[in-house]
Amino acid sequence: MIIQNSVIFRNILWKDYPALERFMDAFTSGSRGDSAARRHLNRLSLYDSLRRATYARGAFLGSRLIGLILGRCSTTPLHPEASWFRFYNILALNKSPQGRYFYKTYRFFQQTDQRLLSACHEDFQGELLFIAVHPRFRRQGIGLTLLYCFHTYMLGRGVRQIFLFTDSGCCCGFYDRQRFDRLCAFYWPDTKHRSYFGFYLYKFTYTSGSAVIYS
């Protein structure tokens, strides 16, 4: 248990990249199989989002990163150098059979997400790219605070509607509770069988003069 007042919320800087990687490594702990390949997969996901982000904010307990949110709207990305780290992790994944399998699966996820977006005729001005809290520090309001800061950023730039991709391997209930609306879904390998793995597209709409309320 931590005290919220001891957590600092601030923008992500270049010097934070090692802390970002350690943060992502926490989601690899305890996984079966090639742990190195899983680390590179998680870091690829991180840098793929970071290279496009116009908003990058972290929750720090001392020097330790315990929460992260990334998003974008129609402005210049903050961390274009993340493309190099993305490329390095792609190369690292392709050095082993399991790594190549992970990368192929990752590409399938990306392609499926884009198909969902293409089938949705909505006008979006922004995207929530990534949000996560370290497993040891969940259920303490850190994710809600990060999301509130992100919504404030989007409202300040006149964004009316954002979207996000997620899947049944993530905590979709978090988005449902925070008033995101599920637009469409794709179930694999059977597109109509909801007991299979699900890919989801969500949206959040900002109304004029609205305040973001959390439960």
Per residue in 73-103, pLDDT (tens digit) is 977 888 999 999 999 999 999 999 999 999 9
Per residue in 157-202, pLDDT (tens digit) is 999 999 999 988 777 889 989 999 999 988 887 655 556 788 999 9
Question: Where does the pLDDT of residue 203 fall: very low under 50, low under 70, confident under 90, or very high at 90 and above?
Answer: very high
The pLDDT value given to residue 153: 94
- CA 182 from chain center: how many Å? 16
Q: Rounded CA gap, 51 and 86, in Å?
A: 8
Q: Rounded CA gap, 152 and 182, in Å?
A: 22
The pLDDT value given to residue 121: 87
Per residue in 119-131, pLDDT (tens digit) is 988 999 999 999 9
- CA 17 from chain center: how many Å? 16
The edge-to-edge listing of strands for the beta sheet with 126-133 is 7-11, 55-61, 64-73, 126-133, 161-167, 197-205, 181-188
The pLDDT value given to residue 1: 55
Contacts of 139 (CB under 8 A, 6+ apart): none
The pLDDT value given to residue 213: 46
CATH number, domain 4-159, options 3.30.1360.120, 1.20.1250.20, 3.30.2320.30, 3.40.630.30:
3.40.630.30
CB atoms within 10 A of CB 94: 15
Q: Rounded CA gap, 159 and 150, in Å?
A: 11
Q: What percent of the chain has pLDDT over 70?
A: 89
Q: Give me the mean pLDDT over the 48-72 stretch.
A: 96
Domain boundaries, given as residue ranges, for the chain: 4-159
Tell me the sheet residues that pair with 166. Answer: 200
For the question of whether the overall pTM of this predicted structure is more than 0.85, the answer is yes
